[in-house]
């Protein structure tokens, strides 16, 4: 019985070591060099090549190497009858919160404006609003969104949140469903996207939404590049409807060198590093699920593949 790691990264030693440290008897192999694909029952995947999972006749479970599973939905030949699990990890949620907090403070304390002024030797002070009058609007109140929203509220910001179903989070004004989206964004000084990527959320960050936000608001996208209509963002920044955008995720990754986002001085850009999975931190839950699968017990962190998260 084999666990195979199926992804395009060739630096997998940390993953193999972490899995083996949890269970030295585990047979961990790496695509495409498994000794026998018929032995593989558990696949640990990240952006696997389309259709490749069809080559494992005895596969019983597929686990994402991250929090998201949208790459599985993009594979038209994904074996949808198999249970799918994802990683839920407190250190992943905390790292995401750190990133969001850093960017929120950057805009909140006008560092983008001072950076632009510096380029023109311009000494001009801006009086910024207090935290209690600044609204951080978090789209997506899953594990990561809930964690970030509740901590930003503890910092003293006004925090709102939006999700498909109604949530209740201390210190956060929660909105739910399509009918509440306009009201939710109407007060968003900083909009943080942490939504799962599904048919309903693809392209949700578009000019219709930007135009309903307060003029001069900022966007932080740490979810998926496909949530954003890129041209609409550039238009909104050009017109001043949005003051700035921080993007960690892109439709095409790595972002091509000729992409206009690189040179846009209203865009702060990072290479999908807002929250990186630490193999040592997540290996115990992967190995736990591997043993549960073997014993036919219910899996932890199972995803509803039809719902998409």
- Reply yes or no on whether 259 is catalytic: no
- Reply yes or no on whether 224 is catalytic: yes
Among 3, 45, 67, 188, binds ligand GLV (CB under 6 A): 67
Note whether 196 binds ligand GLV by CB under 6 A: no
Return the number of the residue (66 or 112) whose C-beta is nearest ligand GLV.
66
Footprint of ligand GLV on 124-143 (CB under 6 A) = none
Residues 6+ apart with CB under 8 A from 141: 149, 161, 162, 163, 167, 169, 172, 174
The residue nearest ligand GLV at its CB is 66
Catalytic residue among 272, 291, 292, 307: 272
Return the number of the residue (201 or 241) whose C-beta is nearest ligand GLV.
201
The CA-atom distances, in angstroms, between 202 and each of 2, 93, 100, 193, 198 are 35, 22, 21, 12, 6
Return the number of the residue (68 or 279) whose C-beta is nearest ligand GLV.
68
Among 7, 28, 41, 66, binds ligand GLV (CB under 6 A): 66
Calculate ∠ Cα 38-67-187, nearest 5°.
Answer: 155
Catalytic residue among 224, 227, 291, 292: 224
Footprint of ligand GLV on 269-298 (CB under 6 A) = 277
Whether the bond into 32 is cis, omega within 30 of 0:
yes
Among 61, 68, 100, 169, binds ligand GLV (CB under 6 A): 68
Give least dist CB 259 to ligand GLV, A. 19
Given the rule CB under 6 A, which of 63-71, 106-114, 185-193, 199-207 is the region that contacts ligand GLV?
Answer: 63-71
Give least dist CB 301 to ligand GLV, A. 12
Which stretches within the chain are classed as H helix? Answer: 13-22, 70-73, 90-108, 111-118, 143-155, 181-186, 207-212, 230-239, 279-295
Give DSSP secondary structure letters for 15-69: HHHHHHHH-TT-EEEETT--S-GGGEEEEEEESPPTTGGGG-TT--EEEESSS--
Return the number of the residue (66 or 145) whose C-beta is nearest ligand GLV.
66
Give least dist CB 85 to ligand GLV, A. 13
Length, in residues, of the chain: 309
Q: Is the dihedral of CA 205, 207, 209, 210 positive or negative?
A: positive
> Which residues are near ligand GLV by CB under 6 A?
66-68, 277
């Amino acid at each position: 019985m084999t666990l195979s790691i199926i992804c395009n990264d060739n630096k997998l030693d940390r993953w193999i070591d972490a899995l083996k440290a949890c269970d030295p008897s585990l047979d961990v192999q790496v695509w495409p060099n498994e000794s026998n694909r018929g032995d593989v029952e558990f696949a640990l995947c990240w952006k696997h090549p389309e259709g490749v999972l069809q080559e494992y006749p005895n596969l019983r479970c597929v686990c994402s190497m991250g929090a998201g599973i949208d790459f599985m939905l993009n594979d038209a030949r994904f074996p949808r009858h198999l249970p799918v699990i994802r990683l839920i990890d407190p250190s992943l949620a905390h790292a995401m919160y750190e990133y969001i907090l850093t960017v929120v403070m950057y805009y909140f304390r006008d560092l983008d404006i001072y950076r632009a002024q510096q380029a023109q030797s311009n000494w001009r002070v801006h009086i910024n609003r207090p935290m209690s009058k600044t609204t951080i609007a978090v789209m997506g109140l899953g594990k990561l969104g809930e964690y970030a929203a509740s901590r930003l509220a503890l910092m003293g910001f006004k925090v709102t949140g939006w999700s498909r179903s109604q949530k209740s989070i201390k210190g956060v004004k929660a909105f739910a469903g399509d009918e509440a989206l306009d009201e939710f964004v109407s007060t968003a000084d900083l909009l943080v996207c942490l939504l799962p990527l599904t048919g309903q959320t693809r392209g949700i960050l578009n000019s219709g939404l930007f135009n309903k936000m307060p003029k001069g608001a900022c966007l932080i996208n740490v979810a998926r590049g496909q949530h954003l209509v890129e041209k609409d963002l550039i238009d909104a920044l050009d017109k001043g409807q949005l003051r700035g955008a921080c993007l960690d995720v892109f439709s095409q990754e790595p972002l091509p060198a000729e992409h206009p986002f690189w040179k846009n001085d209203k865009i702060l850009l990072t290479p999908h590093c807002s929250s990186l999975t630490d193999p040592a931190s997540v290996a115990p839950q992967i190995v736990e699920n591997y043993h549960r699968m073997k014993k036919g017990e219910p899996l932890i962190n199972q995803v509803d593949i039809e719902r998409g998260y």
